[in-house]
């Protein structure tokens, strides 16, 4: 059990957090790793912090590129990776010191022979890992299949990318789509699980997801736009049956959401309890659901 693990860290203006991320890599009990940090055009002192580590340990590599997005940065990491296994970590998140060791131990057990993905559990933190927050869902092995990720992503669960540990061969024909600024990890999981690789699960907290104001997942509009723009990309690798099944599912889901909104708005208009102006202003922010449904129908006309 001496395989090289390539740890890929895309970063952009994460000087506040990346030192902790690199410490979590440096503290790994498994020693045979390389860490490729791809700086996507940072304008803060991210580079200075990274170079503290490249200066003391030649397992760290620093690559700078002009700002092209997280997908491009991850792709650069994949191109440069030499490892038999891949571990992604975002530059504001952390991994447990035993994550590589336990993942490799799991994948090399006799009963897990030919396993290509190990997924571990995770917890959420804000300022430090002494105060951990449980996610709103429990990861379990039954979720790690193509249909579950296709239909239940975000609404029921998602898998933070650093929970995964991957055989590098899985990425020979996959690169993260440059068209998306978010949801690219969803497409990665769909692609990988569609080919039905053997997956094993470690029900231990070996990954830590940081919540902070700059998290892209806090920007609802940004994420929802990329969610629907991903439809064009889905057509490239979904079967026709799966694609149209997913379109129908999405239309129904957002129709139901819009209908629920209309009922709530009607109740507010008829209510004497609330000040109408403030409530309508709040709900108008949600009106984008109607635009989204129109967008899907327009897409269907082109298919």
202 & 266 share domain: no
46 & 195 share domain: yes
Looking at the whole model, is its pTM more than 0.85?
no
207 & 268 share domain: no
Question: Which of 197, 212, 227 is the C-terminal boundary of a domain?
Answer: 212
User: Is residue 270, in this structure, part of any structural domain at all?
Assistant: yes
Highest mean pLDDT among 203-207, 220-224, 262-266, 280-284: 203-207
Alpha helices, DSSP H, located in 87-219:
99-107, 146-152, 184-194
259 & 149 share domain: no
Whole-number Å distance between alpha carbons of 271 and 90: 46
User: Is residue 102, in this structure, part of any structural domain at all?
Assistant: yes
The predicted pLDDT at position 212 comes to: 84
The predicted pLDDT at position 166 comes to: 98
171 & 78 share domain: yes
15 & 159 share domain: yes
User: Is residue 187, in this structure, part of any structural domain at all?
Assistant: yes
**Helix/strand number for the chain, H first, E second:** 10, 8
Residue 56 scores a pLDDT above 70: yes
User: Is residue 229, in this structure, part of any structural domain at all?
Assistant: no
- Which residue would you say has higher pLDDT here, 85 or 260? 85
Q: What is the CATH number of the domain that holds 102?
A: 3.90.550.10
Q: Average model confidence (pLDDT) for the chain? A: 85
Residue 293 scores a pLDDT above 90: no
How far does CA 246 lie from the centroid of its chain?
A: 20
193 & 95 share domain: yes
**Domain span at 92:** 5-212
User: Is residue 39, in this structure, part of any structural domain at all?
Assistant: yes
Whole-number Å distance between alpha carbons of 182 and 197: 24
Label residue 155 by pLDDT band (50, 70, 90). Answer: confident
135 & 184 share domain: yes
40 & 96 share domain: yes
Q: Give Cβ neighbours of residue 287 (< 8 Å, ≥ 6 apart).
A: 261
State the Cα angle at 130 between 102 and 86, rounded to 5°. 30
171 & 65 share domain: yes
CB-CB contact of 189 with 144 (8 Å): no
**Number of domains into which the chain is organized:** 2
Whole-number Å distance between alpha carbons of 299 and 297: 5
Label residue 16 by pLDDT band (50, 70, 90). Answer: very high
Question: Which of 171, 195, 212 is the C-terminal boundary of a domain?
Answer: 212
Residue 251 scores a pLDDT above 60: yes
C-alpha closest to that of 60 among 16, 92, 21, 15: 21
Go through 31-58 and write b for each residue having 16 or more CB atoms within 10 A of its CB, e for each that does not: ebbbbbbbbbebeeebbebbeebbeeee
28 & 153 share domain: yes
User: Is residue 219, in this structure, part of any structural domain at all?
Assistant: no
Q: Residues 157-213: pLDDT tens digits?
A: 999 999 999 999 999 999 999 987 778 899 999 999 998 899 999 999 999 999 987
Q: Residues 80-111: pLDDT tens digits?
A: 999 999 999 999 999 999 999 999 999 988 56
User: Is residue 218, in this structure, part of any structural domain at all?
Assistant: no
User: Is residue 217, in this structure, part of any structural domain at all?
Assistant: no
Low-confidence winner among 57-61, 95-99, 113-117, 186-190 (lowest mean pLDDT)? 113-117
Q: What percent of the chain has pLDDT over 70?
A: 76
168 & 295 share domain: no
């Amino acid at each position: 059990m001496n395989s090289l693990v390539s740890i890929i860290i895309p970063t952009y203006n994460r000087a506040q957090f990346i030192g902790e991320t690199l410490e979590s890599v440096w503290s790994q009990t498994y020693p045979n790793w390389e860490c490729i940090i791809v700086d996507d055009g940072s304008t803060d002192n991210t580079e200075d912090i990274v170079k503290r580590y490249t200066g003391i340990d030649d397992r760290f590599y620093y690559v700078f590129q002009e700002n092209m997005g997280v997908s491009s940065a991850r792709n650069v990491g994949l191109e440069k990776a030499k490892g038999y296994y891949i571990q992604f970590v975002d530059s504001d998140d952390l991994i447990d010191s035993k994550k590589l060791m336990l993942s490799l131990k799991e994948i090399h057990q006799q009963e897990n022979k030919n396993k290509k993905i190990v997924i571990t559990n995770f917890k959420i933190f804000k300022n430090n890992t002494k105060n951990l927050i449980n996610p709103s869902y429990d990861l379990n092995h039954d979720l790690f299949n193509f249909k579950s990720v296709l239909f239940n992503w975000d609404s029921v669960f998602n898998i933070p990318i650093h929970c995964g540990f991957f055989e590098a061969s899985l990425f020979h024909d996959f690169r993260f789509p440059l068209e998306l600024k978010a949801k690219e990890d969803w497409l990665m999981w769909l692609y990988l699980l569609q080919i039905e690789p053997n997956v094993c699960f470690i029900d231990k907290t070996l990954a830590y997801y940081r919540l902070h104001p700059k998290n892209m997942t806090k920007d609802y509009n940004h994420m929802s736009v990329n969610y629907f723009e991903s439809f064009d990309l889905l057509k490239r690798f979904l079967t026709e049956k799966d694609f149209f099944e997913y379109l129908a599912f999405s239309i129904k889901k957002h129709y139901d959401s819009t209908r629920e909104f209309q009922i709530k708005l009607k109740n507010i208009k008829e209510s004497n309890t609330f000040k109408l102006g403030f409530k309508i202003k709040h709900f108008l922010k949600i009106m984008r659901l109607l635009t989204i449904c129109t967008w899907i129908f327009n897409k269907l006309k082109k298919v």
